[in-house]
Amino acid sequence: MTLAKPTLQRMREELRVSEEFLARYNRPGPRYTSYPTAPVWNDAFGPGDLEKVHEEAERARTPVSLYMHIPFCESLCLFCACNVIIQKNKDVAPPYLGVLKRELERVSRSVSRERQVVQFHWGGGTPTYLTPAQIEDLFGATREHFTFAEDAEVGIEVDPRVTSREHLETLRRLGFNRLSMGIQDFHPEVQKTINRIQPFELTRDLLLAARELGFDSVNVDLIYGLPYQTPERFAHTVDEILELAPDRVALFSYAHVPWLKKQQGAFAAHLPEGMQKFEIFRTGLMKFLEAGYLYIGMDHFAKPGDELAIAQQNRTLHRNFQGYTTKAGADLYGMGVTAISGIQNAYAQNQRELAAWEKAVAERGIATMRGYHLSEDDRLRRAVISRLLCHTVVVKEEIAREFGIDFNDYFAEELRRLEPSREDGLVSIESNEIRTTWLGRIFIRNLAMVFDPYLEKQQLAAKPLFSKTL
């Protein structure tokens, strides 16, 4: 159901915030693709621990989600905060794929054939850095070792600048049904500054080809807060996106983390900040809502009728490292350099250096660098944070029943710390539930942070760990 005009008007009012409000809320905080967040994980958790977790999942006979990381890109976009390896010379691909297939084979030995793969995602870097033949070979190897569900969601991230029609035809023929395209912004000055020249026409033609080939869902990635963006310029980008009518839109907040990604320093003086960045976001948000898209939550929009929108209404929406999904209950097996797994009550990350990952796979097949076992308290907090992010409401009784606690007792301190946000209009706190308002949905990371006790220590770290919440 799209939003009625008076609702849109009310939202517009609700989202008129002051400088002082932004100064209080726009502070470093995690995106909660996991809880506890990655800086809490430790290197005492190794391959042996992951193997034990694999066994637990086997006993639980859970459905399977696979993630494959292809780290390579041909050139560096200066804003990029992803785990990438820039390599023009494509000779690096065959050896990488050799090691990846070995890891795949080893992981598959921990997953019996009656457990179905319900979700398969290729991310990066840029998976279409690979040739169509290489993609076909890797996909074939995966199918040989795993059983795919008939209706499995099979998705891939593509950079339109390096993706050909032949790529799309191959992907579609193999059974890929979802595409996610990086766009970011169409303004020439923004594109030049971030070293990503990507004409509208090229992007449009690829999207039309994807539609013609019958992909079920096409997502586009945009970023607000890039250098030289203004609300007017961004409004124009959004108009062009609306012309393309993607099924889903990810509108990410630009994460400025120059202590991790030095190249971001190159344009630091030209970044829109504070009120100006918020205005760019608000422009994008309102334009998508007015065009009939629904705001799913942290950064994501979908057309009404999209399964994410339905899952949110039914409160069956779920979040993992790739964002929002309807596939709750699946265990995620990540493969490739830096890849992350989320299996049962544990997280594990693969070696982050290419050579170290290759060596670990050669020696043992499993390349865990660090990981984490969740405690009972972690699981309880993960459930609360996940409900805030996915459902926008936490029903106290549901959590209490699931974990055998008295919600108001257990979270007395957190409820007290939510008071200022309640007064600021981000959240309502009733006897039976905590419910976010529109403003609260925009600043949802701040609300989730209240339930994260690890933050206090993390904030004392010498270097900041997270980007700002706006």
Ligand X SMILES: C[S@@+](CC[C@H](N)C(=O)[O-])C[C@H]1O[C@@H](n2cnc3c(N)ncnc32)[C@H](O)[C@@H]1O
382's tokens: 């993960």
Looking at 72-80, 239-247, 336-344, 430-438, which segment touches ligand X (CB under 6 A)?
A: 72-80
Give the Cα separation of 217 and 114 in Å (integer). Answer: 27
Does 124 bind ligand X (CB under 6 A)? Our answer is: yes
- Helix, strand or coil for residue 91? helix
- Considering only residues 17, 68, 84, 360, which one is a binding residue for ligand SF4 as defined by CB under 6 A? 84
Burial of 348 (0-12, 13-18, 19+ CB in 10 A): buried
Looking at 110-118, 120-128, 325-333, 425-433, which segment touches ligand X (CB under 6 A)?
A: 120-128
Minimum distance, C-beta of residue 465 to ligand SF4, in the bound complex (Å): 20
By CB under 6 A, the residues from 4 to 33 that bind ligand SF4 are none
Q: Work out what residue 255 binds among ligand X, ligand SF4, none; the CB cut-off runs from 5 to 8 Å by kind.
A: ligand X
- Considering only residues 37, 108, 184, 312, which one is a binding residue for ligand X as defined by CB under 6 A? 184
Give the Cα separation of 280 and 292 in Å (integer). Answer: 19
Query: Which residue, judged by CB position, is nearest to ligand X in the bound state?
Result: 182
- Considering only residues 17, 50, 77, 389, which one is a binding residue for ligand SF4 as defined by CB under 6 A? 77
Rounded to the nearest 5 percent, the helix, strand and coil shares of the chain are: 45, 20, 35
* CB burial readout 119-141, b (16+ within 10 A) else e: bbbbbbbbbbbbebebbeebbeb
Are 67 and 123 a contacting pair, CB within 8 Å? yes
Looking at 74-82, 206-214, 300-308, 434-442, which segment touches ligand SF4 (CB under 6 A)?
A: 74-82
Kindly tell me which of 182 and 336 has the beta carbon lying closer to ligand X.
182
Does 126 bind ligand SF4 (CB under 6 A)? Our answer is: yes
- Helix, strand or coil for residue 443? coil
Does 142 bind ligand X (CB under 6 A)? Our answer is: no
- Alpha carbon dihedral 457, 458, 459, 460, in 10-degree steps, equals 60
- Considering only residues 32, 186, 254, 267, which one is a binding residue for ligand X as defined by CB under 6 A? 254
Site string for ligand SF4, 172-211 (x = CB under 6 A): ----------x-----------------------------
Q: Which residues are CB-contacts of 67 (< 8 A; sequence separation ≥ 6)?
A: 121, 122, 123, 321, 322, 332, 333, 334, 335, 336, 339, 340, 341
By CB under 6 A, the residues from 145 to 164 that bind ligand X are 157, 159
- Helix, strand or coil for residue 154? strand
What does the binding site for ligand SF4 look like in residue numbers (CB under 6 A)? Answer: 73, 76-77, 80, 82, 84, 124-126, 159, 182
Please give the residue ranges that form the binding site for ligand X (CB under 6 A): 73, 79-82, 123-124, 126, 157, 159, 182, 184, 221, 223, 252, 254-255
